[in-house]
Amino acid sequence: VPFPSPRPRAWRATMLLFQLPDDVFYHILSYLDCRSLSRLSQVCKSFYRFVNRDAVWRKIAKEGLNTGITRDGTDRYPHIPLKERVKIAQNWCDGICKKAVPLKWKTKLLPWLQLDGDGEILFLSQAANIEAYYLRQDPGKLQSNPFKIYSANNGDVCHFVLTDSHLISGRSDGKILIHSRTSDMLVELSGHNQEVNCLDSKDGLIISGSRDRTVRIWTLTSSCPKETISMYDRVWSVAISPTLSSFVTGTACCNNFSPLRIWDVERLQCVCCLGSEFRRGAGVLDMVFESPFQLLSCGYDTFIRLWDLRLSPRKCVMEWEEPHDSTLYCIQTDGNHLIASGSSYYGVVRLWDKRQTECLQFFQLSSDSVSSPVYCLRFNSSHLYAALATSLHSLDFRQNPIYIR
C-alpha cells in the first residue's frame, strides 16, 4: 500500500518497533550513542518514555565520567535518572561548568574539606575549627554562617575524616580530637608530639601519621594508642584498606627510599613496599583506595600512580604526570574512569580520564598574582569543591550540554 506522506510511514515503523518484545528493543537501542538516543526520544511521547529509562543508558553511563556507575557496576546515585547523569558526564568530559567562590577569608590557612550525604553538607576546616554548611539551595553560595561549628582550644586542624557518627581531626599540636556528630561529646587523644598530618578511620579503627615520624593506631573506644610504629621519616598520608586488614603509609622519602608501604593491621608488620625507584624527597601526600586491590597515590614527584595490589609483586600499573611539573597535593576518584587532582600552584585542578595519559581538562582557580596550592578537593556527580589558602571554590557541571536534550 503506497503511503501518501512520510508521516504515516514513520508512524507505522514506530508501531512496528513497539511490537517488538522490550528486551529486543533495548538491545537495538544499546547500539546507539547519546546523540542518536537523544534524537530518538524526540520522535514521540512513547519513544521519549522508553528511551528515558535507565536500562537504555546503563552501557553509556558505565563508559562515562563520574556517572556514579562504578567499575563493578554498583550505582552510587540510584535516585537520579541515568540519562541526567550522562548529560552531566559529558560536561565533566568537556570541562563545561559554572565556577563560583562560595567562601573567602583573610589569612592564609591550610584548609581541608569533606562532603557528606552525596554533597548535602560541606565540612571545612578553618584554623582550629571545622565548620559545617548545608549545600541544598544554591551550591554556588554558602549561607553566611555555618549551621554548626566544631571548635576546640587546640592547635589548627591539619586533616580530618568524617564517619557516620564522628568527626576526627589531626591537629598541629599533635592531638587528635574526636567530635561526636550527634552530641557535644569531645574526646582528645594524645600521643604524637608533632603535628598530625594525616589520619584515616574506618569501622572504629583510627590510624594517624605525624611529622614526629610515627604512625599510631587507635580505636574509637580508648584514649591511648593501641600501637605505635616508628617510620624513621615524616608521615604525610595514610589510608585504611576497605578490607580493614591493612593500611598504607605515605612518607617524606627522605630517610628511606620507599615512601609507600603496606602494613598488616593485626601483626603490625610491613607487608611490602610499593615501587622502588623513588627519588629522594618523592614524598606521598595523598592516597585513595579505589577498591581493595587498587590504590591511587600522588605527591611531590608530580605523578599520580595506580597500584594493583593483587599482582605479585604488587606494582604500579598506570601513571599520569602533572604536565607543569608541580607537586600534587590531593586526589579523588569516581571509582571508575575519572580522577581529579589538585596541584601546588595557581589553584590548578585537573581532570583525568584514566583511559588516557594526557590530562583531560584543567581549571586555574587562583589568580595569577596569588598562587595557592589546592589543599583538598572533593566531588560528587555534579559538583566539585576545592579548598585553597584563602578561598573555597565550586565547579557546577549541571550545565546544558550542547547536544543531549
Ligand X SMILES: *[C@@H]1O[C@H](CO)[C@@H](O)[C@H](O)[C@H]1NC(C)=O
Q: Does 174 bind ligand X (CB under 6 A)?
A: no
CA 249, CA 244: separation in Å to the nearest integer? Answer: 14
Closer residue to ligand X, CB minimum distance, 78 or 95: 78
Closer residue to ligand X, CB minimum distance, 201 or 380: 380
Q: Which of residues 384-403 bind ligand X (CB under 6 A)?
A: none
Q: Does 383 bind ligand X (CB under 6 A)?
A: yes
* Residue sitting closest to ligand X (CB): 119
Scan for cell 608501604, then name that residue.
261
Q: How many CB atoms lie within 10 A of CB 315?
A: 13
- Enumerate the H helices of 95-134 as residue ranges: none
Site size for ligand X (CB under 6 A): 10
DSSP-derived secondary structure letter, 119: T
Non-local CB neighbours of 19 within 8 Å, separated by 6+ positions: none
Q: Using the rule CB under 6 A, which residue among 51, 97, 103, 135 binds ligand X?
A: 135
Q: Does 381 bind ligand X (CB under 6 A)?
A: yes
Q: How far is the CB of 269 from ligand X (least distance, A)?
A: 40
CA 258, CA 281: separation in Å to the nearest integer? Answer: 10
Q: How far is the CB of 188 from ligand X (least distance, A)?
A: 31
Question: What x/- string results for residues 24 through 63 when contact with ligand X is judged by CB under 6 A?
Answer: ----------------------------------------
Closer residue to ligand X, CB minimum distance, 22 or 120: 120
Closer residue to ligand X, CB minimum distance, 75 or 319: 75
Closer residue to ligand X, CB minimum distance, 344 or 381: 381
CA 390, CA 373: separation in Å to the nearest integer? Answer: 10
CA 190, CA 200: separation in Å to the nearest integer? Answer: 16
For residue 94, report the phi and psi dihedrals to the nearest 5 degrees. -90, -5
Q: Which stretch binds ligand X (CB under 6 A): 50-58, 149-157, 265-273, 380-388?
A: 380-388
**Which region holds residue 89: left if phi is over 0, alpha if psi is between -120 and 50, else beta?**
alpha
Find out whether 310 and 295 touch, Cβ atoms under 8 Å. no
Q: Which of residues 85-124 bind ligand X (CB under 6 A)?
A: 118-119
CA 58, CA 47: separation in Å to the nearest integer? Answer: 17
Closer residue to ligand X, CB minimum distance, 94 or 118: 118
Instruction: List residues binding ligand X (CB under 6 A).
Output: 77, 80, 118-119, 135, 139, 380-383
